[in-house]
Structure 1
Amino acid sequence: MTRQSSRFDTLRAGELPVTTSVDRLVEQSSDIAIMVTHSGSVEGISVNPECAGLGCLDHWVGREFHDFLTIESREKYAERSKAVLNDPDMVPRSMQLNHVDNAVWEFPIRYTLHRVNGRDSLLLLGRDMQPIAEIQQRLVAEQTARERDLQKIRSSETFFRVTLEASETPLLLVEPESGRIRDLNSAAATLLGSKVDTLSGGSFAQAFEGRSKSDLMESLRAAASAEEMKVLELVARRSGRQLTAFAQYFRAAGELHLLCRLALVDETDPASPEVTQSLAALFAEASDAIVFVDSKGLIRDANEAFLILTDAAQIRDVKAKSIGEFLARGSVDLKLIVDTAMKKGRLRNYATQIQSAVGTRANVDVSAVRLRRRGGDLGFGLIIRDVTPREVVETEAASSVMSEEAMRNVMDLVGTASLKTLVSATSDVVEKMCIETAVKLTGNNRVAASEMLGLSRQSLYVKLRKHGLLSSEPEAD
């Protein structure tokens, strides 16, 4: 049987195509082709025009090929080129070399080395690996960024878990649609008479008695959506304890969740029926005016003594009005009382005047306290005491002393100064007394004192310095 020769055998036996066709074939079949002599110098180079990223490499011709390789690539090339030159029948295998050019530009090329027949030269046919290298770098960068994000998520989750568990307030995170407990802390689990693992993922309504799931979740959502904080009264199923629940919405990752805070209703709580009745009687029968206002100073409730003090006929005449309307200095007094009680929790014996509905005034001392409970503020409670008789005696005594001192000072100046000077000195005495009174009434709050006197803050400081009234004590807010 005669062996049929393949077309490769015919190609080996026949003649190669013309040189121009070979050059074109080499250019089109590879991104870069380099002819390297036996000594290692670049004899010729061809770059595919479609590989613009490689640029022009004509300056390689006549120079040593290994000069354009990284250190690790030089050893790989020296070993492979020696093997190809010593074994003409060696099957070409690809190898990746990293090139450097101009000391800063580095790019990878995957080559196959071919020995040229009749010559001790090597033809290197290469494929540009820069696009693949860029993709690999992006993948590495994405992986690094993802690991960094995962680390941040783990850190945030650990911080959340530690904070939730360390909180003494019983807290539960509830899904508003499904009504399931997403998370809770040990304080809440103990209050409900169970464990965190048992309650987590379970129904919120199942932890309480006497309420259906739909009814309880509807009440919980309504309480969270209300403008004013509402309290839900619940009974724990496992522990039998009477609890109050406060709910509020928050959004995380675009989804709404409910934060539910629980509080235990103690049987010995001060708000028991007997105590409540006693407080109501004290409020109604107290000789001093008692007023409850919100954070803006609007009257919510007042007792009979306040109605007498303001000459109001009934509670609806003063309810929902600002307490500042009944204070002699209006918004100045109101701002000072509210700000002080808000920052310090209470204010004692603030001297001012109450103006009644018919225009009469009475000297009063105002004490205020900030009312707070678990879950929010209730506003402020004011006790207003009429001190008119005491003020009259003190004012008369002070006026007498002032008159004697002023008269003595004026008499000392008679004969030594003109009438204009005497009048100026007297006005300075009165100005000093007015400033001292304003600073005393406002508790050394110079902003409120300047508003009370109708002066700018800078003008007040000038007059304080003029009369030697600048104290070393820090200024009240």
Structure 2
Amino acid sequence: MKSFSTPRKTVGDLDADAAAALISAAADIALILDAEGIIRDVAFSSAELAAEFVAHGSWLGQPWIETVARDSRPKVEELTQGAAPQGSRWRHVNQLSGDGNSVPILYSTAPIGKAGRIVVFGRDLRPVSRLQQRLVEVQQSMERDYSRLRQAETRYRLLFQMSPDPVLILDGTTQRVTEANPAALRLFGKEPRRAVGRPITEILTPDTRPAVQALLAAVRTAGRGDDVPARLAEGEAEVSISASTFRQEGALFYLVRIAMSDPGAVALPPAKTQLLKLIDAVPDAFVVAGPDGRIVTANAAFLDMIELASEDQVRGEPLDRWLGAQDVETEVLLGHLRNRGSVRLYSSTLRGEHGLRTEVEISAVTVMSGGKPCFGFSIRDVGARLRPPPSTGIRPTRSVEQLTELIGRVPLKDLVREATDAIERLCIEAALELSGDNRAAAAEMLGLSRQSLYVKLRRYGLGDLGAEPGEAG
């Protein structure tokens, strides 16, 4: 701090009133302390500030250190003990107001006269504090706005990346790609990572490029344009292209959306496209059904089995219209899929529109699509494998496992008959084994006549139906 160089000449002889006026004008609060730090006089620069410290009259005769907050008392001691002729450094002190609140005051001290008196200059920090508080609030508000912008950018970036429709951002001057979502990158063939910097016309057939360029020109001049049809260069899929403009950092950009002509179609990688073509061409039937059991799509082999010519004839129809010998069978199969997620080698019957019945074997799986289950069925014709040889007139008997699979597919009376035949055959086989293949003894063990036993042996194709060992011949 630098003082006046010639105060005696420039300031002259000042009386006490002039000095007091100068001190009051130089500070918001001015205190006169004696050598012991006792307040002898107080001055305020404004009536509002004096009203804030309504109890200042009681300060007179008290030590200054008793009128401040406890955390500020060490600073008061430092100010009163280290008062230099040129003034002490400014310290932040919390002065107690009339209602007991702490008021931030910036104080500095300087000695006055030869009696050890000290003048204390105070500056009210509340306007600065309010200004700082407003600055902090504005900064916090800016941080919140910036956080909301970042969150919005993250949401739109995620939407941009997850969109099933190809979306491109083009430079407004060169019409070259500056950004593309994954669905759009796949349109650029074997090198999707090099899509940035390439023109959009590269993914279109030559005959449709002028229409797209005209769309971009119209959007640039008029701000909007009607969607235009186009064809992709790879696969020549029919698409619809829409565009809009936006500005960023003073530059113009196009936002281009490519929608497949079929609302349900999406751009797929070439490998997935080939897989779908293979599924459509395999000799086994393949059907996709929705959560309600209605057909979404089916391949050509399924149409052949049910004697229909077009997929449109089956789309939206219930699968149990053709699957299962009984109405409840398809519901049993779907319930099993909902509970376990998959089914393997389920035996059933497929009914054609013109009476053809095909024995089939089904493997099925459940997948989630749009938050709802979707069922895929692989259906194989096993009629030739299950059909008995035509030369034998023997009726086959089903095993216990095969009988279990028939539940829900055939009436109960047919199940009882099948079960009875299976038990009867097992009993005859056991009797023949116990009797050493002696049919007379076996018939006696079973409580049958020999003639009845021979009829059942022929029925089930058991043993040699010639002369029994030990008989005449």
TM range (shorter): 0.3 to 0.5
Q: TM-score, normalised by structure 2?
A: 0.45
- Structure of higher CA gyration radius: 2
Q: TM-score, normalised by structure 1?
A: 0.45
